Amino acid sequence: MNVKKGTFVVLASGRGSNFQAILDRVSDGYIPAVCTALITDNPLAHAIERARAAGIPGEVVSFKSFSDKQAYETALIATIQKYNPDLVVLAGYMRILGSEIVRKYSGRMVNIHPSLLPSFTGLHAQEQAVNYGVKVAGCTVHFVTEDMDAGPVIIQRTVPVFENDDGDILSDRILVEEHKAFPQAIRLFFQGRLTIEGRVVKIDTNQAPSPGRDD
């Protein structure tokens, strides 16, 4: 029997290590879905090389090519819609998306942020955590809503913060957990185990686990 797998596209602006971690977990069967495109706003993004290596189309929708934000977003939506994905994954996508696109993919768009939200929203979250002096930091995968870094939380993973840490050291420690948390959240989505109730995400724990490591 041929069961059609769900599909997702990834939006990334730079290095793309989360994109790679997700691709690796698609390859080993942990994520029961297919990544159909990488879309970037940055023609120099290393993520494009990663897409090429994986045989996945890489689309560049560069902000500079459009007269204003509205025109850019219209083009971005059109590019996403070419692939008609079940899920849109923001993996280090450095632009704040407008309300039209966020509403269009409501409940079907996820983002990763390198802090334990709702602490330290916005840029340089890891440095904010170090400067604040928190003892525990981490990452959050959440559904995207119109308020930045404020959507319903799917998964959080934690790391300790040590006295000699700087933003870079803490970023590296958190990144290791990002590479676990994002595939976990995407897997749960495609297993149909996530329900959004208000701002709370419920995870169905009654389903029999499908094959693959759960870490």
**What is the nearest approach in angstroms of ligand GRF to the Cβ of residue 153?**
14
Lookup: tokens for 32: 């029961």
173 binds ligand GRF (CB under 6 A): no
Q: 């390198």: which residue's tokens?
A: 114
Catalytic residue list contains 113: yes
Closest residue by Cα to residue 21 from 1, 47, 40: 47
Q: Which of 75, 118, 67 is nearest to 97 (CA)?
A: 75
Q: Which residues contact 100 (CB under 8 A, 6 or more apart)?
A: 73, 77
Q: Is 15 in the site for ligand GRF (CB under 6 A)?
A: yes
| Piece of 15-23, 49-57, 58-66, 81-89 that binds ligand GRF (CB under 6 A) | 15-23
Among 17, 79, 119, 191, binds ligand GRF (CB under 6 A): 17
Integer Cα distance of 58 and 48 in angstroms: 6
CA separation, residue 21 to residues 91, 119, 125, 176, 208 (Å): 10, 25, 21, 10, 24
Q: How far is the CB of 18 from ligand GRF (least distance, A)?
A: 3
Q: Interface mask (CB under 6 A) for ligand GRF, residues 96-135, using x and -? A: ----------------xxx---------------------
> In this chain, which of 18, 40, 145, 184 binds ligand GRF, going by CB under 6 A?
18
Out of 6, 14, 107, 212, point to the residue binding ligand GRF (CB under 6 A). 14
Question: 3-class SS at 99?
Answer: helix
**Catalytic one of 113, 124, 142, 179:** 113
Q: What is the contact surface with ligand GRF in residues (CB under 6 A)?
A: 12, 14-18, 91-92, 112-114, 175, 178
Q: Which residues form the catalytic set?
A: 113
